[in-house]
Amino acid sequence: MTVAPLVGKQTESLRLATARGNLWEGAVRSSKTVCSILRWLQFVRQGPPGPLMMVGKTERTLKRNIIDPITAMVGKQRCRYRAGVGEVELFGRTIYLAGANDERAAEKIKGLTLAGAYLDEVTTYPQSFFAMLLTRLSVEGAQWFGTTNPAGSNHWLMRDYLSRAALHLTRDGETLRSQADNLLDLHRFFFKLEDNPNLPAAYVAQVKAENVGLFYRRNVLGEWVLAEGAVYSMWDETRHVVDELPPIDRWLAAGVDYGTTNPFHAGVVGLGEDRRLYLTREWRWDSRREHRQLSDVEYSASLREWLSTVPRPGETRRGVQPEYVIADPSAASFRVQLRRDGISARLGDNAVIDGIRTVSSLLALDVLRMHSSCVDVIREIGSYSWDDKASERGEDAPLKVDDHGPDMLRYALHTTRTAWRNALPAGLTPGCLTAP
Ligand SMILES: Nc1ncnc2c1ncn2[C@@H]1O[C@H](COP(=O)(O)OP(=O)(O)O)[C@@H](O)[C@H]1O
Ligand SMILES: [Mg+2]
Alpha-carbon distance of 363 to 369, in angstroms, equals 7
Ligand nearest to the CA of 432: 1
Bridge partners, 266 (sequence order): 256, 283
| 115 has pLDDT over 80 | yes
- Give the residues across from 255 on adjacent strands: 267, 326
Specify the residue with its C-alpha closest to ligand 1, atom 25: 29
Q: Ligand 1: distance of its center to the CA of 27 in Å? A: 12
Which atom of ligand 1 is least distant from the CA of 27?
A: 22
Q: Which of 121-125, 143-147, 388-392, 422-426 has the lowest mean pLDDT?
A: 422-426
Check whether 363 has a pLDDT greater than 60: yes
Reported as a pLDDT band with limits 50, 70 and 90, residue 429 is: confident
- In this prediction, residues 188-193 reach a mean pLDDT of 97
- Ligand closest to CA 196: 1
- Ligand 1 atom 9: residue of nearest CA: 31
**Mean of the per-residue pLDDT values of the chain:** 93
Q: Give the pLDDT of residue 312.
A: 53
Q: Which of 105-119, 201-215, 317-331 has the lowest mean pLDDT?
A: 317-331
Give residues (CB < 6 A) around ligand 1: 3-4, 6, 28-34, 147, 196, 198-199
pLDDT (0 to 100) of residue 435? 56
- Residue located nearest, by CA, to atom 16 of ligand 1: 31
Cα 299 to middle of ligand 2, angstroms: 43
Does position 415 have pLDDT exceeding 90, yes or no?
A: yes
By CB atoms closer than 10 A (0-12, 13-18, 19+), residue 303 is buried
- Cis bond before residue 311 (omega within 30° of 0): yes
Confidence of residue 314 (pLDDT cuts 50, 70, 90): low
Residue 299: is its pLDDT beyond 70? yes
- Average pLDDT, integer, range 31-35: 98
Q: Looking at mean pLDDT, say which of 312-316, 392-396, 405-409 comes out highest.
A: 405-409
* Atom number, ligand 1, closest to the C-alpha of residue 6: 1
Rounded Cα gap, residues 61 and 108, in angstroms: 18
Residue whose CA is closest, atom 14 of ligand 1?
29
The pLDDT of residue 436: 45
CA of 121 to the centre of ligand 2 (A): 8
Residues flanking ion ligand 2, Cβ below 5 Å? 33
Query: What number is the average pLDDT over the span 285-302?
Result: 95
Residue 98: pLDDT over 80: yes
Confidence of residue 428 (pLDDT cuts 50, 70, 90): confident
Cα(208) to centroid(ligand 1), Å = 16
- The number of the ligand 1 atom at minimal distance from the alpha carbon of 36 is 17
**Concatenated DSSP letters of 86-111:** TEEEETTEEEEEEETTSTTHHHHHHT
- Ligand 1 atom having least distance to the Cα of 5: 1
Ligand 1 mutation target, pool 25, 31, 211, most atoms within 8 A of CB:
31
For residue 107, name the pLDDT band (cuts at 50, 70, 90): confident
Query: What dotted CATH number matches 9-197?
Result: 3.40.50.300
What are the domain boundaries of the chain? 9-197, 237-434
pTM of the model: 0.87
Q: How high is the pLDDT of residue 313?
A: 46
Q: In this structure, which CATH number among 3.30.420.280, 3.40.640.10, 3.20.20.70, 3.30.420.40 belongs to the domain 237-434? A: 3.30.420.280
* Residue 104 CA to ligand 2 centre (angstroms): 25
pLDDT at 390 over 60: yes
Contact, 141 vs 148, CB < 8 A?
A: no
Chain length of the chain: 436
DSSP 124-178: GS-HHHHHHHHHH--STT-EEEEEE----TT-HIIIIIGGGEEEEE-TTS-EEE-
Q: How far is the CA of 72 from the centre of ligand 1 (A)?
A: 12
| pLDDT of 311 over the 80 cut | no
User: Residue 171 C-alpha to ligand 1 middle, in angstroms?
Assistant: 18
Can you tell me which atom of ligand 1 is nearest the CA of 28?
23
Q: How far is the CA of 351 from the centre of ligand 1 (A)?
A: 25
Q: How far apart are CA 365 and CA 350, in angstroms?
A: 23
